[in-house]
C-alpha cells in the first residue's frame, strides 16, 4: 500500500511538471512562471463581410410576373405578367401588357456596351432535349426583330420541375440574365461592329432611323472611342431596278442619311465617309423580291 501511494504521488508530480514544462517552456504561455488558465475555449469563427456568396438566380416559373436579373442575382427589371410557353412546340407568347420588356432590354444593352443577355429556355423532365433551346431561340428572334443586336444575345437551356395547365400552356419557362461580356465574346461583337450590314428603312423615300440603326449608333460610337485611329466608311447599295446612274444617286443619298444620323448621335463627322456603289455589288439575285430586298442595303466598314 505504501509503495502504491508513493508511486501515485510521483505520477502526479510528473504530470504537473510535464504540464508546466509544456505550457511555460515549450509554448511560452506562463507569466512569472505561473501557468495560465487551462480551461479549453472553442475558437469562434470570424464574420468576414467581404465573402461573396454565390448568386441565386430565381427561375421565372410563375404567372405572377417575371424578373430580369444581373449575373449576381440582382433584379434589374420586373414585369407584371410572365411569358407563356406550351407543351407542343417551342413557341413563346408575349402578351401586350409586357411588350415593353423588349424596350427595357434594348435600352439597357445600348447604355451598357460591355453587357450581353443570356436567355435560358426551361423544359421539364418529360419534354424532349431540344425544346428548351427552341424556346430560347424564339425569344432571341423576337428581340432581334425589335432591333437588339443578335451578337449580344446568347442562349442555353435548363431542366426544371413544372406542370402545364389543362390547355397545355404554362406562364413562365424563360429566364433572363444580363451579364458582362467575356473578352472572347467582346472580340466577336467588335468584329461585327466593324463590318455591319443594315437593311430596314433605307429603300423608302423618307429616311427613318429604326431600332437597329439606333443600337448600332451606340455600338459604333463606343467602338470608335475605343479605337481613336479608326474611321468608318458608309456604303450605299441598291437593286438593279432603274438605270445605274439613278441607282448610284439613291445609294449615295441613303449613305448620307445614315452618316447624318450617326453624327447626330455624337460620332465625329471627320471619322465617317459616305459613298455609293449603286447596283454594282449585289449579294443576291435581282430576279426576286427577296433578292432585291437584300441588295438594297447599307454596309459600314470600320478600319
Q: pLDDT per residue over 73-102, tens digit each? A: 888 888 889 999 999 999 999 988 888 899
Is the residue at 43 inside a domain? no
**Residue 240: pLDDT above 90?**
yes
Is the residue at 259 inside a domain? yes
As a whole number, mean pLDDT of residues 258-272 equals 96
Is the residue at 265 inside a domain? yes
- Does residue 210 sit in the same domain as residue 277? yes
pLDDT tens-digit map of 2-54: 555 455 555 555 555 555 544 455 445 454 554 444 433 333 333 333 323 23
**Residue 254: pLDDT above 60?**
yes
Domain stops at, among 181, 213, 246:
181
- Does residue 193 sit in the same domain as residue 176? no
Please give the pLDDT value at position 61.
Answer: 65
Range of the domain at 110: 66-181
Is the residue at 44 inside a domain? no
d(CA 43, CA 47) in angstroms, rounded, equals: 13
Is the residue at 28 inside a domain? no
d(CA 171, CA 94) in angstroms, rounded, equals: 10
More confident residue, 216 or 54: 216
- Does residue 170 sit in the same domain as residue 266? no
Q: What band does 203 get if pLDDT is binned at 50, 70 and 90?
A: low
Alpha helices in 117-243 (DSSP H): 131-146, 183-194, 211-226
Is the residue at 32 inside a domain? no
- Does residue 174 sit in the same domain as residue 239? no
Contact 95, 81 (CB under 8 A): yes
Please give the pLDDT value at position 11.
Answer: 53
Q: What band does 65 get if pLDDT is binned at 50, 70 and 90?
A: confident
3-state secondary structure the chain: CHHHHHHHHHHHHHHHHHHHHHHHHHCCCCECCECCCCCCCCCCCCCCCCCCCCCCCCCCCCCCCEEEEECCCCEEEEECCCCEEECCCCCCECCHHHCCHHHHHHHHHHHCCCEEEEEEEEECCCCCCCHHHHHHHHHHHHHHHHCCCHHHEEEEEEECCCCCCCCCEEECCEEEEEEECCHHHHHHHHHHHHEEEECCCCCCCCCCCCHHHHHHHHHHHHHHHHCCCCCEEEEEECCCCCCHHHHHHHHHHHHHHHHHHHHHCCCCHHHEEEEEEECCCCCCCCCCHHHHHHHCEEEEEEC
CATH of the domain at 168: 3.30.1330
CATH of the domain at 207: 3.30.1330.60
Please give the pLDDT value at position 49.
Answer: 30
Please give the pLDDT value at position 59.
Answer: 62
Q: What is the pTM of this model?
A: 0.74
Count CB-CB contacts under 10 A for residue 36.
11
**Residue 58: pLDDT above 50?**
no
Mean pLDDT (the chain) is: 83
Domain stops at, among 166, 181, 196:
181
Is the residue at 51 inside a domain? no
As a whole number, mean pLDDT of residues 244-270 equals 95
- Does residue 149 sit in the same domain as residue 211? no
- Does residue 143 sit in the same domain as residue 232? no
Please give the pLDDT value at position 36.
Answer: 47
- Does residue 166 sit in the same domain as residue 246? no
* Overall number of domains in the chain: 2
Which residues have a Cβ under 8 Å from the Cβ of 254 and sit 6 or more positions away?
A: 202, 207, 236, 276, 298
- Does residue 161 sit in the same domain as residue 192? no
Domain stops at, among 165, 181, 197:
181
Is the residue at 288 inside a domain? yes
- Does residue 192 sit in the same domain as residue 137? no
pLDDT tens-digit map of 118-152: 999 999 999 999 999 999 999 999 999 999 999 99
Amino acid at each position: 500500500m505504501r509503495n502504491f501511494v508513493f508511486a501515485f504521488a510521483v505520477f502526479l508530480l510528473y504530470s504537473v511538471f510535464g504540464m508546466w514544462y509544456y505550457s511555460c517552456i515549450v509554448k511560452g504561455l506562463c507569466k512569472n512562471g505561473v501557468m495560465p488558465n487551462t480551461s479549453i475555449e472553442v475558437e469562434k469563427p470570424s464574420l468576414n463581410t467581404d465573402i461573396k456568396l454565390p448568386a441565386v438566380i430565381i427561375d421565372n416559373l410563375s404567372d405572377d410576373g417575371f424578373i430580369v436579373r444581373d449575373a449576381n442575382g440582382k433584379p434589374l427589371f420586373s414585369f407584371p405578367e410572365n411569358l407563356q410557353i406550351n407543351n407542343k412546340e417551342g413557341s413563346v407568347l408575349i402578351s401586350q401588357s409586357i411588350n415593353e420588356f423588349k424596350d427595357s432590354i434594348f435600352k439597357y444593352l445600348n447604355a451598357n456596351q460591355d453587357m450581353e443577355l443570356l436567355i435560358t429556355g426551361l423544359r421539364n423532365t418529360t419534354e424532349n432535349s431540344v425544346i428548351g433551346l427552341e424556346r430560347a431561340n424564339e425569344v432571341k428572334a423576337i428581340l432581334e426583330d425589335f432591333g437588339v443586336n443578335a451578337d449580344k444575345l446568347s442562349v442555353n437551356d435548363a431542366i426544371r420541375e413544372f406542370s402545364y395547365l389543362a390547355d397545355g400552356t404554362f406562364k413562365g419557362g424563360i429566364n433572363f440574365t444580363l451579364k458582362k461580356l467575356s473578352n472572347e465574346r467582346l472580340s466577336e461583337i467588335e468584329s461585327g461592329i466593324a463590318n455591319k450590314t443594315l437593311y430596314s428603312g433605307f429603300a423608302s423615300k423618307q429616311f427613318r432611323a429604326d431600332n437597329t440603326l439606333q443600337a448600332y449608333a451606340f455600338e459604333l460610337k463606343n467602338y470608335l472611342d475605343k479605337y481613336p485611329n479608326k474611321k468608318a466608311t458608309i456604303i450605299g447599295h441598291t437593286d438593279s431596278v432603274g438605270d445605274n446612274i439613278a441607282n448610284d444617286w439613291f445609294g449615295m443619298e441613303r449613305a448620307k442619311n445614315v452618316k447624318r444620323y450617326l453624327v447626330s448621335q455624337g460620332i465625329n463627322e471627320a471619322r465617317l465617309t459616305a459613298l455609293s456603289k449603286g447596283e454594282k455589288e449585289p449579294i443576291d439575285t435581282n430576279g426576286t423580291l427577296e433578292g432585291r430586298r437584300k441588295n438594297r442595303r447599307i454596309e459600314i466598314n470600320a478600319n
